[in-house]
A and B are shown apart, each in its own frame.
Chain A
Amino acid sequence: MGFHEPITEIGEEALVHPGTSIKVVTESVAKVTETPAPKGWWMLFAIAVSLLGVFGGTVGYLMWRGVGIWGNNNPVYWGWDITNFVWWVGIGHAGTLISAVLFLFRQKWRTAINRFAEAMTIFAVICALIFPGIHVGRPWLAYYMFPLPNQMAIWPNFKSPLLWDLFAVGTYFTVSLLFWFVRLIPDFATLRDRSKTTVRRMVYGALALGWRGSNRHWQNYERAYLLLAALSTPLVLSVHSVVSFDFATSVEPGWHTTIFPPYFVAGAVFSGFAMVMTLLLVTRQVFGLEHIVTMKHLDLMNKIMLVTGTLVGYAYGMEFFTAWYSGSPYERYVFMNRAFGPYAWAYWAMISCNVISPQFFWVKSFRYNIPLMFVISIVINIGMWFERFVIIVTSLHRDFIPGSWGYFHATIWDICTYLGTFGVFFTLFLLFIRWFPMIAIAEVKATLKEADPHAAHGGDDHAAHAHAHGAAE
């Protein structure tokens, strides 16, 4: 069992370029952390840290003045803050999908990108968690979100989806962090054993926990890996489902619909893959990792984006159908208003970015075209942001009583808060690719031909061996 059956003869293409040996994998991944950062990294880091400064200033001002600086109004109580929260949580989903769900489906190609995607998950969830925290408005009352009694000894209501959300996102963050760390241990040991300076040896040594590659350890480790994957798979599906409950359990036309959980999960995977793609294309270029993250990987990711993008398109259509079929005038109005009302620009931006743009990936040459996939991955992320914006704002801005209708205008502070979270995300991410092994060294090695203990026998003997092993297990 486990991820460690090497790729053999089942018609799969090699997952690294020919000639990439075990030694080369160690070298090319570890080298990134050992040599001075390329100029490109410093440029990106400078931008990221500047945005981090914008974030600090904006949140500081928000704490000083309160949420009134945002465009949120009556009736649009949830504006960019919750849009950004849902968007960032969704981004995170691709990491878990790659590291857990694709593992359970024995998709070995994920080994080259899973570390990367999982790091993205963790940083995206950090960005997401910022929003409910600062949206509270009175930061000294942020503890209301936790299962703690308030000043009148009243506990939170366990029937509220907002409380479920705290448990879901909190668990998701914790489990993702644990999973990520567990898989970093052997690679930290690799960096420790290559270190030339005392500082590196101490730091990576401490992080590696004294890992010595023992097979008695690998046995429990592989089991832990399998269990964490098995736990993360339903977890990742639950997280965006619970986020969608925040909307679906309210009696608000446009939100009160049973399609939300699967629709949100598909959208989350879609946007997450797009974000992984954007980051991956830049990183593999800057750090020269084309022989490990090959065109084949990018092709497979594009296919997943095509599938999930089409699922999301189906959900958009089905929402319209359900609204019509419900016979409820409020439901029908909300959807007509979405497509043709004052927010039609946002709706059609969403449709073109999310439903139309991934359709290019039906064509193989487009799936192998790096500039095109880079542009589409960014377009998809914009589209997914619009999806959350459309769901949240268009449903709220015209509710039951026309006298209370309104329109949402984002302020400069909305924009700065959103841009600021990119600073948080990219600062963490750039530090990660600089100092951590950004590709799962041990896992990539395990998929190489050299890793197969029977490869040396060659030909038919090998197949017989593999069969005997398989039958015995």
Chain B
Amino acid sequence: MSAEAPRRAPKKRVALVLAEFNTTGDVLHAAEKVRDAGYQKWDVHTPFPIHGMDRAMGLSDSKLGWIVSVMALLGISAAISMYYFMNGLDYPIIIGGKPGFSPPAAFPVYFELTVLFSAFGTVFGMFHLNRLPRHHHPVFESDRFAAATDDKYFISIEAEDGKFDVEKTKGFLESLHPSHVEVVEEVVS
């Protein structure tokens, strides 16, 4: 992309340092060292989740369950209140001599709406926690990064991290036995 001649030279700044690894074992041990070095704004990019990586990165547990719990309660409340409003309050119709609103009678509806709301909570809660969709990210500026969805593993340390220093961070990542290290720049408009 940078090969196209721009009208004026774009202003660039260092966004992150990216280290590439060939095996899951290498990237896992490297991640443990990055964690121990005290970096905060860094990430591991892998084609599939690696077992034990959450601990190696020192991540706390996902908060998704809380979002889903709230949505589940919302779902069952929505179902009961819908039934109550439609059949109990707004237009009760007597069928088979039963009361308009008879809580156990519509249990399948409560169950289905609980599941439906929870599923929306799960998917959109996950998108929210992951800040997706996000189509632009500095890591995509690297030409080698396409392999992160194929068979290579990457660690990125962002320039916004308090401990970040281009040379020192690059040297640190080089000490972790990567197969390649590069400094990735992003265009500042």
Query: What residues of chain A have their CB less than 8 Å away from a CB belonging to chain B?
Result: 2, 4-6, 21-23, 26, 147, 149, 153-159, 161, 163-164, 167-168, 170-171, 174-175, 178-179, 181-182, 186, 189-190, 192-194, 205-206, 209-224, 227-228, 231, 234-235, 238, 242, 245, 441-443, 445-446, 450-457, 469, 472-473
CA distance A178 to B139 in the complex (A): 27
CA distance A192 to B90 in the complex (A): 52
Q: Produce 1/0 per residue, B86-118, CB < 8 A to A.
A: 110011010110100010011011011101101
Q: A171 contacts B113, CB within 8 Å?
A: yes
B79 CB to nearest chain A CB (Å)? 8
Q: Does B176 contact A (CB under 8 A)?
A: no
Q: Does B125 contact A (CB under 8 A)?
A: yes
Given A220-B64, A242-B108, the answer on whether A215 and B49 have CB atoms closer than 8 Å is yes
CA distance A156 to B90 in the complex (A): 12
Q: B112 contacts A227, CB within 8 Å?
A: no
Query: Which of B31, B87, B154 has the most CB atoms of chain A within a 10 A radius of its CB?
Result: B87
B14 CB to nearest chain A CB (Å)? 18
Given A212-B140, A231-B119, A453-B25, the answer on whether A155 and B87 have CB atoms closer than 8 Å is yes
Q: A163 contacts B129, CB within 8 Å?
A: no
Contact residue among A6, A209, A212 (Cβ-Cβ distance under 8 Å from B45)? A212
CA distance A173 to B137 in the complex (A): 33
Q: A445 contacts B48, CB within 8 Å?
A: yes
Q: A227 contacts B45, CB within 8 Å?
A: no
Binds A, one of B142-150, B159-167, B179-187: B142-150
| Chain B residue, CB-CB nearest to A227 | B122
The interface residues of chain B lying within 8 Å CB-to-CB of A206 are 135
Q: A221 contacts B44, CB within 8 Å?
A: no
CA distance A163 to B125 in the complex (A): 29
Q: Does B9 contact A (CB under 8 A)?
A: no
The interface residues of chain A lying within 8 Å CB-to-CB of B150 are 22-23, 26, 190, 193-194
Contact residue among A154, A221, A441, A469 (Cβ-Cβ distance under 8 Å from B91)? A154
Give me 18 other A-B pairs in contact (C-beta within 8 A), A224-B64, A445-B47 excluded. A167-B109, A168-B108, A175-B116, A182-B126, A186-B47, A209-B132, A211-B149, A212-B145, A213-B45, A214-B44, A214-B130, A215-B43, A219-B59, A223-B126, A228-B119, A228-B122, A231-B118, A238-B112
B7 CB to nearest chain A CB (Å)? 21
The interface residues of chain B lying within 8 Å CB-to-CB of A222 are 49, 62
CA distance A469 to B56 in the complex (A): 11
A289 CB to nearest chain B CB (Å)? 18
Q: A147 contacts B46, CB within 8 Å?
A: no
Q: B51 contacts A5, CB within 8 Å?
A: yes
The interface residues of chain A lying within 8 Å CB-to-CB of B53 are 215, 218, 453
Q: B109 contacts A164, CB within 8 Å?
A: yes
| Chain B residue, CB-CB nearest to A22 | B151
* In the A-B complex, the 8 residue pairs with the closest CB atoms: A209-B133, A155-B86, A193-B146, A218-B49, A164-B108, A224-B126, A215-B44, A158-B106
Q: A217 contacts B86, CB within 8 Å?
A: no
Contact residue among B119, B127, B134, B146 (Cβ-Cβ distance under 8 Å from A174)? B119
| Chain B residue, CB-CB nearest to A188 | B149
Q: Does B136 contact A (CB under 8 A)?
A: yes
Q: A456 contacts B115, CB within 8 Å?
A: no
Q: B102 contacts A159, CB within 8 Å?
A: yes
Q: B68 contacts A227, CB within 8 Å?
A: yes
The interface residues of chain A lying within 8 Å CB-to-CB of B25 are 453-457
B94 CB to nearest chain A CB (Å)? 10
Q: B59 contacts A216, CB within 8 Å?
A: yes
| Chain A residue, CB-CB nearest to B87 | A158
Query: Which of A26, A216, A217 has the most CB atoms of chain B within a 10 A radius of its CB?
Result: A216
